[in-house]
Amino acid sequence: MAEAAMLLGAALSGTVVASLLSCLPAFHITNLAGLLVLLSARVEGRVPAELLAMFMLGLVVGYGMVNAVPGIFFGAPDESTVFVVLPGQRYLMERRGFEASVLTGVGSLGGLTVLLLLAPVMPRVLPMVRAIVGPHLHWILGAIIAYMLLSEWPKGSDRAKSPLGRLLDGWRSLLAGLLTFLLSGLLGFVLLYGNLVPVEMGFQNLMPAFVGLFGIPWVVQNLLSQTRMPIQIQGTSVDVTPGLIVRGVGAGALGGLFAAFFPVVTGGIGGLLAGQATAQRDDRLFLISQGTSKLIYYVGALIFFFVPGLHLTRGGVAGMLSILYTPHGPVTYWTAMGVTLICGTLAFGLLLWLSRLSSRLVTAMDYRWVSAGTLALLVGGVLVLSGWGGLLIAATATAIGLIPVLWGSRRMNCMGVLLLPLTIQMAGLGPKVAGWLGLI
């Protein structure tokens, strides 16, 4: 009993820590998890591995529930919340930022429910699915890339006087999307076969790229637009029906499970693909589904690590934890599931409180100062965690990430930084392409 109380206490502590830190625009859970792994390795044997595993599980649950808050209120999304931001900021400008945040939280609660309902069948089904799809991962990811690029639609104004002018106007965003994907993919190849960050911080190799691709361009856009935030309404209810919740959670669960199981695919991409497959056209549906998708993406990927007979290490946290800890049997799996549900309930309560606090701060402070502070946090976080080499990576990535901002293409194309090099690597062509590029 005492041991169970310690494990639950560690998990709840991780949930509180992650929920509070998730409101910082520069924070990502893998950064903290990596530092914990380094510290644990240096004090080997002093911290029980089971205690560390539960603490990190609590961290992931708290982050998966709360990490939409900075994207909605302070405009610094990561790769899994970037799709939440556009409808979220529409809500923010309509004085309903708190409601947008709560809707993502409702979706996250739905994601926890889905994981609980699937818990009895996952140990039986997932190992079989893994054996079936394992040899085909490269072309599955290739199909995702093809869909992303082919589904980019022209966004021209159709106001040019000549047919050639209208054609160029329509193709402007399409070419920008293709250029963004290819350049980010090239950057991903450089990072895959080289390392500009200190060796001891090698696990942070991709962090500067994601900050530059997704975080800094958005903050720069906020600074240039000189947006003034209206006073936010903090209601006691949200405009949503049970039917909409079920539809949103269903779509988000499809995307989140897909992203948690398949490598490279993030919760944002999975949620967007599932949303389009289920023909979502409602901002409320979209926010709920993205909340579900990102929660299952982060938490589900770590839960899969505990599934008996599977021990799948998808996502950065599961991979880092596997260095120090190996789960054993069904008891550990069901313990992890129970801890996840308790931590998720706590995280939702913290989400409500932190959303109210953020809605007050965003209107009490000049949004330009908020954006400037966010930019300082992003740059400072990159410099502290990955050094000057990381800052160079972030600067390069920022130049790529500004292309969608300036030319109106999808920011999802920035995920080429992962999708392109790892798909080619899984197809067995990575060394050959790297040789063509002069990287080896």
Q: Which tokens sit at 288?
A: 């709920």
Candidate ranges 2-11, 195-204, 296-305, 362-371; pick with highest mean pLDDT: 296-305
% of the chain at pLDDT higher than 90: 24
- Write the DSSP assignment of 384-439 as a string of letters: HHHHHHHHHHHHHHHHHHHHHHHH---GGGGGHHHHHHHHHHHTT-HHHHHHHTT-
Q: Which of 178, 208, 215 is nearest to 190 (CA)?
A: 208
- Residue 348 pLDDT grade (very low, low, confident, very high; cuts 50, 70, 90): very high
Q: Which tokens sit at 302?
A: 């770590």
| pLDDT, tens digit (0-9, with 9 covering 90-100), for 355-390 | 999 888 887 777 777 778 888 888 888 888 788 888
* Cα(405)–Cα(389) distance, integer angstroms: 25
Instruction: Please give the C-alpha separations between residue 314 and each of 65, 105, 125, in angstroms, as whole numbers.
Output: 19, 23, 17
pLDDT recorded at residue 182? 94
* Cα(23)–Cα(26) distance, integer angstroms: 9
CB within 8 Å of 374: residues ≥ 6 apart: 25, 26, 70, 74, 75, 76, 219
b/e 155-191 (16+ beta carbons within 10 angstroms → b): bbeeeeeeeeebeebbebbbebbbbbbebbbbbbbbb
Q: Are 400 and 413 in contact (CB under 8 A)?
A: no
- Kindly state the DSSP code that residue 152 receives in the 8-state scheme: P
| pLDDT, tens digit (0-9, with 9 covering 90-100), for 310-346 | 878 877 788 788 888 888 888 999 999 999 999 999 9
| pLDDT, tens digit (0-9, with 9 covering 90-100), for 7-50 | 899 999 999 999 998 887 767 788 788 778 777 777 766 778 88
- Residue 2 pLDDT grade (very low, low, confident, very high; cuts 50, 70, 90): low
Q: Are 34 and 203 in contact (CB under 8 A)?
A: yes
| pLDDT, tens digit (0-9, with 9 covering 90-100), for 241-290 | 888 899 889 988 988 888 888 877 777 777 677 666 665 667 888 889 88
How buried is 411 (Cβ within 10 angstroms: 0-12 exposed, 13-18 middle, 19+ buried)? Answer: buried
pLDDT recorded at residue 166? 72
* 422, pLDDT greater than 90: no
| pLDDT, tens digit (0-9, with 9 covering 90-100), for 219-241 | 887 777 766 777 788 877 787 88
* Cα(399)–Cα(205) distance, integer angstroms: 18
* Cα(214)–Cα(414) distance, integer angstroms: 8
* Structural domain spans, the chain: 2-436
Question: What value does the mean pLDDT take over residues 149-164?
Answer: 70
* Cα(218)–Cα(227) distance, integer angstroms: 13
* Cα(215)–Cα(11) distance, integer angstroms: 29
